[in-house]
Chains A and B, each alone.
Chain A
Amino acid sequence: MSNRLLDRQVGLLEFLTSGAAIFDDLDGASLDPALVGIDCGLLRLEARFSFQKRMAKVAAVFPRTFELLDGHSGAIIREFVSSYPPRDIGRLENARQFFDFLCGDSRRLPVLPPHLPDVAACELALAQVRANDLTRDTKQREHALQNAIRRAPGVALLRCSYDVRTILEVGAETDPVRREVLLGVASPVGADQPRVFELLKPVFDLLSVMDEWADAAAMVATPKLNELVRDLSVCGLIEVHP
């Protein structure tokens, strides 16, 4: 194939992922020369279908965040489309792009509910933990030391400015309390879905550094610590290898 085809393909995808094509903001003059001769109405329909599929993936990860966006969602989504073209077919990758867009630009945040970044961060973490649960290879544990513990793979640790757990559980109508909250997102033993746990600061800090297997005997020296390890294990926050 000649480079010319790639140029045409690049032009086509730029057009199909553009706000002009998706939201009908098109005037005839802005059509890429590589696309001349293609039915413009059908291109717009293709653009809209692809956009709808992409946003369905994003919305599936951020149900409460979208409730909070409410009146702003139209403008927000238009801006997202313009600044973050799709890079990957996957749901999580598109969700990460949306999160980066939503929370990465402080100019956008004043018009949004102040707790929205925390809600979005928790929803993205829940989706990541859910995906990790399904892909975790239990054989990884075979390489563990005897009597060792570590933070469970895929656990997300979040430092939030609002306690948004009620919003996640009940809905976006509730007003969250503003306070620093340290959260761990993990799948408890036997649970179908991951959960969000509030953590004390020492526990949060400990989990933050438990990337590698460590000798449990060296760490768990008191009955109280034994109990903590048991609780964290039941919550799915740490992994214990007997």
Chain B
Amino acid sequence: MLSAVGIGYRAAIDDWTRRNLSSFELLEITIDHCMGGHPARFNIFDFVDRIPLTAHGIGLSIGTDVPLDLRYLDEVAAIVDRLKAPAYSEHLAFTRTPGRDLANLLPLPQTEAIAESIIEKVRIVQSRIGVPFLLENITYLFTWPDSNLSDAEFLNLICRETGAGLLLDVENLYLNASNHGFDPYAFLDALPSGLVQEVHMAGGEVVNEKVVDRPLLADSHAYPVPDEAFRILDRVLERHTPSAIVLERDDRLDAVDEILDDVTRIRARVARRQSWRANVESSFGQAGRAA
């Protein structure tokens, strides 16, 4: 199976997206943009049956230490159904507390106790949504002092216990590894083969702020995907066959040529890996699949 390559739908480039729909094999739809009074919602449903759609959420805040909002989840389920999406993904993070919404993804303390509470919540999500649920790794600036599990250990524990898949955000992995000084390839090696079911690619930027003593990479979704992220993608494709690889772009959306270039580069990577696999299989038969 070849990974489908596409972009995250953004209303600001709706016309351009429609004109260039043949350049993509799928669109990722932000579920929350299909809800209530969000301006994009009626345009979005036009894409159903015209191109495969996958569903991504930003509003669940699964990590907030309160019960899940079941009405929200039921609305998600209805939209996933209407989009005919094969999967629904959300961030392993929290964004809000009662009465306050930061609208930014924040990390959780990475401990077994917190993992257990997330596992319970993932099971609730799975019981209410009719398609596989994927968790996405976030980028984070700070960590909690009581975290005693690595990023991979925390994700693996939750995914193993629930059967949830991983939406691997390669840019987030790259930024975290760079900002916090760990090896992104060691993170990838710690994931069980096949866990990565979807991939996000994006380009960030370097920020120099006086409140920190070093330059940091920030996940701005504003620039072309960096070469290092493509190298990480290559490694991902060695052990996983994600069904979807989505380019995320939220700023400098007028630079549409950059979007198409990134999609082309991603597709070339996927095709090269597929061609390599085909060669291995024709040379070594089924045993080659293990490579």
Contact = CB atoms under 8 A, between A and B. Distances in A.
A2 B111 CA distance: 13
Interface stretch (A84-92, A112-120, A202-210, A229-237): A84-92
B211 interface: yes
A41 interface: yes
A18 B129 CA distance: 36
Interface in A54-97: 54, 85-90, 92
A164 to B, nearest CB: 24
Contacts of B125: none
Contact of B104 (A14, A46, A134): A46
Interface stretch (A3-11, A155-163, A218-226): A3-11
Interface stretch (B16-24, B90-98, B165-173): B90-98
Contacts of B216: 45
B117 interface: yes
A198 to B, nearest CB: 27
A89 B97 contact: no
Contacts of A49: 104, 141, 218
Contact of A9 (B43, B94, B101): B94
Interface stretch (B57-65, B149-157, B279-287): B57-65
Given A6-B66, A9-B65, A10-B97, A50 B211 contact: no
Most chain-B CB neighbours within 10 Å: which of A24, A43, A44? A44
A46 B117 CA distance: 25
A99 B179 CA distance: 38
A12 B143 CA distance: 12
What band does the interface of chain B fall in when counting residues whose beta carbon is under 8 Å from A?
A: 35 or more
Contacts of B37: 92, 131-132, 135
A17 interface: yes
Nearest to A85: B100
Contacts of A9: 64-65, 94, 97, 106
A88 B212 contact: no
A130 interface: yes
B109 A86 contact: no
A48 B104 CA distance: 11
B42 A46 contact: no
A85 B43 CA distance: 31
B142 A43 contact: yes
Nearest to B207: A45
B232 interface: no
Contacts of B101: 86-89
A90 B37 CA distance: 10
B254 interface: no
A44 B100 CA distance: 17
B102 A50 contact: yes
Contacts of A217: none
Contacts of B114: 1, 5
Contacts of A110: none
Contact of B103 (A1, A44, A86, A130): A86
B41 A135 contact: yes
Contacts of B142: 38-39, 42-43, 46
Nearest to A131: B39
Nearest to A135: B37
A232 B50 CA distance: 37
B181 interface: no
Contacts of B11: 134
Contacts of A39: 142
Given A48-B211, A89-B58, A17 B94 contact: no
Interface in B166-224: 207, 209, 211-213, 216, 218
Interface string A28-42: 000000001111011
Contact of B102 (A17, A38, A137): A17
Given A1-B117, A3-B65, A42 B141 contact: yes
Query: Which 3 pairs across A and B sit closest by C-beta, in order of nearness?
Result: A37-B145, A6-B65, A1-B117
